[in-house]
Amino acid sequence: MKADALDGAFDAVLAAEAVDDLKASVAALKAQVDAQTVAAARLPLDGAKAADPARDAFVERYLRRGIDAGVEMKSLSGATGGEGGFAVPREIDGAIAATLKALSPIRSIATVVQTGTSGYRKLVATGAMGAGWVGETAARPETATRSFAEIAPPSGELYANPAASQAMLDDAMFNVEDWLADQLGREFAVAEGSAFVTGNGTNRPKGFLTYATTNEGDAVRAFGTLQHLATGTAGAFPAANPQDKLVELVHALKAPYRQGACWVMNSDTLARIRKFKTADGAFIWQPGLVEGQAATLLGYPVVEAEDMPDVAANSLSIAFGNFRAGYLVADRGETRILRDPFSNKPFVHFYATKRVGGAIIDSQAIKLMKFAAS
């Protein structure tokens, strides 16, 4: 009996020790989980980037070394494997979009929408609904019904092909992510900046200067046709009081559109206008008062777009309007990249594509100045 009692006491001691060990393990695990939760909730330091496995895999494995295993593949065509290209992570795509907005003048002032397909459509109401006054018991005549026009922005595939040496990619201090976003943003901005102004709508956006124009007012002009105001002199401003034509162009735009309106012209045209003065000798062009603030002309900001034509006979060199209401940019999906280390050894090319469309959505929101006699 004494032996059995001793064995039972020994088992009880072992069981108590096992429970204590289990409690200690649970406490340690809980402390580890709490520490990870706090670290995850803590904001990164200024300039630091939070860990993103998708971005790290894309940058460190695919961009630097060309290893596509573990990188989500979204094919551009029927090709297999990495031949179709990879959709860039959201953070890099956001950096490219930010560069585009900063460098592409029309994109920065237009309405930009993200689409999932290339067949984007937008319905725009045209005309006005009828209204009238009647007595309390008088009959109510039927009012007119508003018409709708369908806007389908022409689009095309925008591409760029920047290159870096393998030595640059192997250098851990070289920030390939920021370099690629900056290069693609700059190359895309040059191409789309031209298309938004003068694109013919074939495999590219339709630029606002390629639409038909007339000197008719908003009340009688056909939808989709822009109004132009002639300077009265072919290839030049009138010799006397040239600034008056600019005032007329401002007030050709309806008052609701003037809230948010801006001027669009190239540097050569702006250089001419900066010399204009009022009767009391004051310049009509005013520089921005603080850094980053746009210069103003007759109280409205000026956007320099070098793709606008120089002043010449019958040229449409100045645009004034509310481009947020008047012009639409449609981005389809994200930027896709195909790494090409073979075509131009020892350089590695990054063939990037992005589908972009553009079209006018409200022809009353943009006015043009035509340097012609009539």
Distance CA 358, CA 199 (A): 9
Q: 237 in a domain, yes or no?
A: yes
Is residue 46 helix, strand or coil?
coil
Range of the domain at 303: 208-328+362-370
Q: 31 in a domain, yes or no?
A: no
- Give the mean pLDDT of 209-234: 94
- Give the mean pLDDT of 187-202: 94
Same domain, 324 and 334: no
List the CATH number of the domain containing 192.
Answer: 3.30.2400
Distance CA 327, CA 348 (A): 37
pTM to 2 decimals? 0.76
* pLDDT greater at residue 205 or residue 49: 205
Q: 194 in a domain, yes or no?
A: yes
**Tens-place pLDDT, residues 302-346:** 999 999 999 999 999 999 999 999 999 998 877 888 889 988 888
Q: 60 in a domain, yes or no?
A: yes
Same domain, 195 and 212: no
Distance CA 237, CA 251 (A): 18
Q: 19 in a domain, yes or no?
A: no
How many other CB atoms sit within 10 Å of the CB of residue 113? 14
Cβ proximity of 321 and 137 under 8 Å: no
Tell me, what amino acid is at 50? Answer: A
Phi, psi of 266 (to 5 degrees): -90, 175
* pLDDT greater at residue 222 or residue 91: 222
Same domain, 159 and 306: no
Same domain, 97 and 172: yes
Q: 153 in a domain, yes or no?
A: yes
Q: 47 in a domain, yes or no?
A: no
Residue with tokens 């956006």: 205
Distance CA 203, CA 220 (A): 32
pLDDT at 139: 87
- Give the mean pLDDT of 274-287: 87
pLDDT at 129: 61
Same domain, 273 and 350: no
Same domain, 199 and 214: no
Instruction: Give the list of residues 6+ apart from residue 50 with CB closer than 8 angstroms, or none.
Output: 44
Same domain, 199 and 68: yes
Six token digits for residue 128: 């006005």
- Give the mean pLDDT of 347-362: 92
- Give the mean pLDDT of 124-143: 77
Query: Distances in Å between the alpha carbon of 206 and those of 164, 273, 354?
Result: 33, 28, 16
Same domain, 244 and 314: yes
Count up the domains in the chain and report the number.
2
pLDDT at 32: 59
List the CATH number of the domain containing 228.
Answer: 3.30.2320
Given a cut of 60, whether residue 28 has pLDDT beyond it is: yes
Given a cut of 60, whether residue 35 has pLDDT beyond it is: no
* pLDDT greater at residue 49 or residue 369: 369
For all residues of the chain together, what is the average pLDDT? Answer: 82
pLDDT at 101: 85
Same domain, 170 and 244: no
pLDDT at 333: 74
Instruction: Give the list of residues 6+ apart from residue 164 with CB closer than 8 angstroms, or none.
Output: 176, 179, 347, 348, 350
Given a cut of 50, whether residue 21 has pLDDT beyond it is: yes
**Tens-place pLDDT, residues 144-168:** 776 777 788 899 999 999 999 988 8
Same domain, 176 and 215: no
Same domain, 236 and 292: yes
Given a cut of 80, whether residue 84 has pLDDT beyond it is: no
* pLDDT greater at residue 172 or residue 169: 169
Same domain, 155 and 222: no
Q: 259 in a domain, yes or no?
A: yes
Given a cut of 60, whether residue 121 has pLDDT beyond it is: yes
